[in-house]
Structure 1
């Protein structure tokens, strides 16, 4: 029978009011070297859940990261205040039953290295945010975001690629 655990790398900074909950069998929360959790961050892992936060990632105040689906956040990410990362979803198809009685789905979430999630972003279950992406403040990410994308809005939509400004301008000039 497996055991639940919390693993902390070196130089992890945990500020006042952080809550880290690991419950059930085979659940694990790993904070790699240099992770910083600002005040009032909540991280939760239920049965058979793994939450892993990569080296040098900063998690801003009031962020909520919770399973029971697995969550992987890459290295050197910036997660601004009040972001919600929720790796589960309630089933609700049967209107004759309470939603709470219909179970949940848990596909998990992956956020690549070097991503920046702006203030109050919500990331929903089943999403992969590619390496180097930027998600604008207030966005709701309900589908995959390709690497090096800039996405904004509700639902989040890619508006351009990082480092592609020159190419986009050149293409517009050719069309004119």
Structure 2
């Protein structure tokens, strides 16, 4: 709110959108308006401060950025 007028300054709700099949590392933080698409991995302690659109990526860092592309994960583990 504006201290002088009492006017609400952030009247538009702003949320976080996380797509399907994402892996989120422990302690990751998302700021308002952060978006990660489906099939994205977010690294441990990363801070996501903006919208990302490309799927099959790994995001990491503070602020988070794409560190790897073309990543596909599966719950199944290959045993050799």
**Which runs of structure 1 show a deviation greater than 6 angstroms over 4 or more consecutive aligned residues?**
none
> 1:126 corresponds to which residue?
33
> 2:66 corresponds to which residue?
158
State the number of aligned residues. 67
Structure 2 unmatched runs, 5+: 73-80
Alignment partners' CA distance in 1, 2:44 and 2:13: 25
Contact 1:106/1:126 (8 A) holds in 2: no
> 2:57 corresponds to which residue?
149
- CA deviation profile, 1:5-57 (whole Å, cap 9, x unmatched): xxxxxxxxxxxxxxxxxxxxxxxxxxxxxxxxxxxxxxxxxxxxxxxxxxxxx
Which of structures 1 and 2 has the bigger CA Rg?
1
Q: Tell me which of the two structures has the higher relative contact order, counting C-alpha pairs closer than 8 angstroms and 6 or more residues apart.
A: 2
Contact 1:128/1:143 (8 A) holds in 2: yes
Structure 1 unmatched runs, 5+: 1-90, 164-176
Greater share of strand: 1
Alignment partners' CA distance in 2, 1:122 and 1:133: 15
SS state of the match for residue 106, structure 1? coil
Q: So what's the TM-score if we normalise by structure 1?
A: 0.34
CA RMSD across the alignment: 2.3
